[in-house]
Amino acid sequence: MFCLPKTPLAGQESSGFIHRLGMEARPQYVFPTNPFLQGENERWKPIQISFAAHLKYSFKFRPNTCADRIYGGAYQGIGVSLTTFGDKKQLGDPFSFYVFQGARIVRFSPRASLNYEWNFGLSAGWKPYDNYYNSYNGAVGSRMNAYINAGVYINWAFSRYFDLIVGGDFTHFSNGNTKFPNAGINTAGAKIGLVYNFNRTEEDLSKSLYQPVTTRFPRHISYDVVLFGSWRRKGVWVGEKQIASPNAYPVAGFNFAPMYNLGYKFRVGASLDGVYDGSANVYREDVIVEYGSSSSKREFLKPGIQHQLALGLSGRAEYVMPYFTIGVGMGANVLSRGDMRGFYQILALKIAVTRSSFLHIGYNLQNFQTPNYLMLGLGFRFHNKYPKVRH
């Protein structure tokens, strides 16, 4: 046993979780990151404001339990939202389905705290770019896009059942470079909402004289192996401009990462990263055709496979929470050719499936600015000595 459990008080619920239902309103400012949003659109007006309504279910570890002490009152769940940008014809009114998790940053009192929260999921219902019917839209190229959100807020439990939340957040929509165009949309603004706690008790809102005892974390090295794949689009430089290839290219790779587990919430380590990128070093060739046809046509040619393989080394750091782990990485390809040379950055979400396996959803960026590819796959953890935490 790694944590001495709390004995329920008389009349207190014995369930390890508090179940919650929340509603939020999020008015947002739209960053003018591309000409379409700046006003080069069908209405010749900038798109500056969005509004989203959210409905969320979550479950939370009870206060004064082992899990609450270790993970800072962590909660997690699923949510749905509807977003409008005030231009349904050109952008649509997308809806999102997502998972989310949050926890306490600072506790001011048993009833008030500063929390963080992230959301990750898919959004659908977009009106994407179309060469004939929606040619101004250089921001969104697909009907479905990734939805990523993070923010901080004040949580005030003003009654046994209700919490008020007030804060701010940042949102990003994009398709992960799986289809052109992929300028994406970024917003930031406020969030305000109410959360109903179905089975919270008055004792959960009072300062407890009992503090659960946790044993020292068994520091150790574990080994993560990830296999991933995806597809991507590519723009090819011709002179001083890029020309979009009409093809979708496969991506496949692996990560092998020895990770030193510092404590319940942090891991650091290094990773050996291998990848096959079917779009790497693709080039364009002008083919002259016979008189009477068009003077030339664009062909996008692939080099040999040796020009599309790379092996890199990266440093890794992970923030570990129940069910979810968020990881970042920075590295460089040490064996590569052409446009695969250089530095790369990785942001990844690992979703626990079993104690020793997880789903992997990540994204690779090149030189801090160039979108690379999605990393969708399955991972396995070996020599895992992470203790089970009671809740």
In CATH, what number is assigned to the domain containing residue 156? 2.40.160.20
pLDDT at 15: 64
- Residues 24-32 have a mean pLDDT of 97
Q: Is 334 inside a domain boundary?
A: yes
Same domain, 139 and 280: no
Residues near 350 by beta carbon (within 8 Å), at least 6 away in sequence: 318, 324, 325, 326, 327, 358, 359, 360, 361, 379
pLDDT in tens, 140-178: 999 999 999 999 999 999 999 999 999 999 999 999 888
Q: Is 211 inside a domain boundary?
A: no
Same domain, 148 and 225: no
Positive or negative CA dihedral for 326, 332, 334, 336? Answer: positive
List residues bridging with 195 in a β-sheet.
Answer: 22, 163
E strand residue ranges, the chain = 17-30, 49-61, 75-84, 92-109, 112-126, 144-157, 162-174, 185-197, 220-232, 235-238, 241-244, 249-261, 266-277, 283-288, 296-301, 309-320, 324-335, 343-354, 357-366, 370-382
Last residue of some domain: 162, 181, 205? 205
Same domain, 31 and 95: yes
pLDDT at 277: 93
Query: In this predicted model, which residue has the larger pLDDT, 23 or 248?
Result: 23
Chain-wide mean pLDDT for the chain?
89
Query: In this predicted model, which residue has the larger pLDDT, 129 or 325?
Result: 325
pLDDT in tens, 98-126: 999 999 999 999 999 999 999 999 999 99
Asked if the model's pLDDT at residue 279 lies above 90, the reply is no
pLDDT at 260: 98
pLDDT at 288: 43
Last residue of some domain: 205, 236, 262? 205
Q: Is 165 inside a domain boundary?
A: yes
Query: In this predicted model, which residue has the larger pLDDT, 133 or 75?
Result: 75
Contact 389, 16 (CB under 8 A): no
Query: Which DSSP category does 321 fall into?
Result: -
Q: Which of 73, 140, 139, 145 is nearest to 108 (CA)?
A: 73
On the 0-12 / 13-18 / 19+ scale of CB atoms within 10 A, 173 is buried
Q: How far apart are the first and last CA of the chain?
A: 12
- Residues 36-56 have a mean pLDDT of 95
Cα–Cα distance for residue pair 114/155, rounded to 1 Å: 6
Same domain, 314 and 246: yes
Same domain, 77 and 143: yes
Percent of the chain with pLDDT strictly greater than 90: 70
pLDDT at 319: 98
At residue 240 the predicted structure's pLDDT band, cuts being 50, 70 and 90, is: low
Query: Which DSSP category does 205 fall into?
Result: G
Same domain, 228 and 137: no
Same domain, 299 and 226: yes
Q: Is 215 inside a domain boundary?
A: no
Asked if the model's pLDDT at residue 259 lies above 90, the reply is yes
Same domain, 183 and 226: no
Task: Report the amino acid identity of residue 187.
Answer: T
pLDDT at 4: 54
pLDDT in tens, 183-206: 899 999 999 999 999 999 988 888
Cα–Cα distance for residue pair 62/203, rounded to 1 Å: 10
pLDDT in tens, 282-333: 887 754 444 344 434 567 788 889 999 999 999 999 999 999 999 999 999 9
Report the alpha-carbon angle 345-38-367, nearest 5. 15
Same domain, 109 and 132: yes
Q: Is 2 inside a domain boundary?
A: no
Render 141-161 in DSSP notation, one character per residue.
Answer: -SSEEEEEEEEEEEEEE-SSS
E strand residue ranges, 175-308 = 185-197, 220-232, 235-238, 241-244, 249-261, 266-277, 283-288, 296-301
Same domain, 201 and 238: no
Tokens representing 337? 């050719």
Which residue's structure tokens are 């009106």? 127
The total number of structural domains that make up the chain: 2
Contact 325, 349 (CB under 8 A): yes
pLDDT at 178: 87
Q: Is 84 inside a domain boundary?
A: yes
Positive or negative CA dihedral for 135, 245, 371, 52? Answer: positive
Same domain, 137 and 67: yes
Q: Is 40 inside a domain boundary?
A: yes
Same domain, 33 and 106: yes
R_g (Cα) of the chain, nearest Å: 24
Q: Is 115 inside a domain boundary?
A: yes
At residue 239 the predicted structure's pLDDT band, cuts being 50, 70 and 90, is: low
Asked if the model's pLDDT at residue 91 lies above 50, the reply is yes
Last residue of some domain: 171, 205, 239? 205
Contact 277, 252 (CB under 8 A): no
- Residues 328-342 have a mean pLDDT of 94
The domain of 111 spans 17-205
